[in-house]
């Protein structure tokens, strides 16, 4: 069991992999719309990750238990480490994790981190994370919003689907990747 847990721990080298795992929970909860919002405020030394969905939601009892690594809703799994690892990662960086959920209405996860904290995991590759989510779940609408020091980049699959509905799958993927790379590059380079 230790090897299985260790392999799972290694998966969370950066925050983008935490995001991928939490969004996969939203997908299993039958969400049709998922919003990922990252806010970096260097002046306040703050990083905030919010993931919101319109899935099944959780009962109050489940919200109280969901951060326990030995509680999972996944069939055939004995542990549910995603939320507990994200909570641990945020606390290690002077932050916290909050969960709001309502049955039949969805769930919102908010993780905060001290941006400059030595133990804060790097954000990671959000382009690859979003590409994985979009290509694996074409029927789900994803909104990815990233703010950094007042500048904002928004990626919305609903808009892109309408704009590029007549393109081949490979051409559409190329455009999606370019959109993500260009938008995040401008955001990170102040352009």
Is the whole-model pTM more than 0.85? yes
- State the chain's mean pLDDT as an integer: 86
| 114 pLDDT more than 60 | yes
CA dist 80 → 74, 97, 118 (Å): 8, 16, 27
Cα 131 from chain centroid (whole Å): 12
CATH 3.40.50.720 fits 2-124+141-152, yes or no: no
| Per-domain residue ranges of the chain | 2-124+141-152
Q: Has residue 128 got a pLDDT over 80?
A: yes
Per-residue b or e along 13-32, where b marks 16 or more CB atoms closer than 10 Å to that residue's CB: eebbbbbbbbbbbbbebebe
What token pair was written down for 126? 């959000």
Give the tens place of pLDDT for each residue, 80-109. Answer: 457 888 998 999 999 999 999 999 999 999
pLDDT tens across 28-78, in order?
999 999 999 999 999 999 999 999 999 999 888 887 777 665 555 544 543
């Amino acid at each position: 069991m230790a090897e299985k847990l260790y392999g799972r721990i290694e998966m969370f080298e950066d925050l983008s992999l935490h995001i991928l795992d939490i969004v996969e929970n939203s997908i299993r909860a039958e969400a049709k719309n998922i919003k990922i919002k990252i806010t970096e405020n260097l002046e306040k030394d703050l990083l905030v990750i919010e993931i919101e969905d319109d899935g099944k939601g959780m009962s109050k009892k489940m919200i109280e238990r969901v951060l326990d690594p030995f509680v999972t809703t996944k069939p055939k799994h004995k542990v549910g480490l995603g939320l507990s690892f994200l909570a641990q990662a945020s606390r290690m960086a002077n932050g916290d994790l909050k969960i709001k959920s309502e049955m039949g209405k969805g769930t919102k996860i908010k993780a905060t981190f001290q941006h400059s904290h030595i133990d804060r995991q790097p954000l990671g590759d959000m382009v690859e994370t979003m590409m994985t989510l979009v290509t694996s779940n074409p029927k789900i609408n994803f909104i990815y919003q990233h703010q950094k020091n007042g500048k904002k980049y928004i990626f919305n699959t609903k808009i892109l689907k309408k704009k590029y509905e007549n393109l081949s799958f490979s051409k559409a993927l190329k455009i999606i990747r370019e959109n993500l790379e260009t938008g995040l590059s401008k955001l990170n380079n102040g352009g």
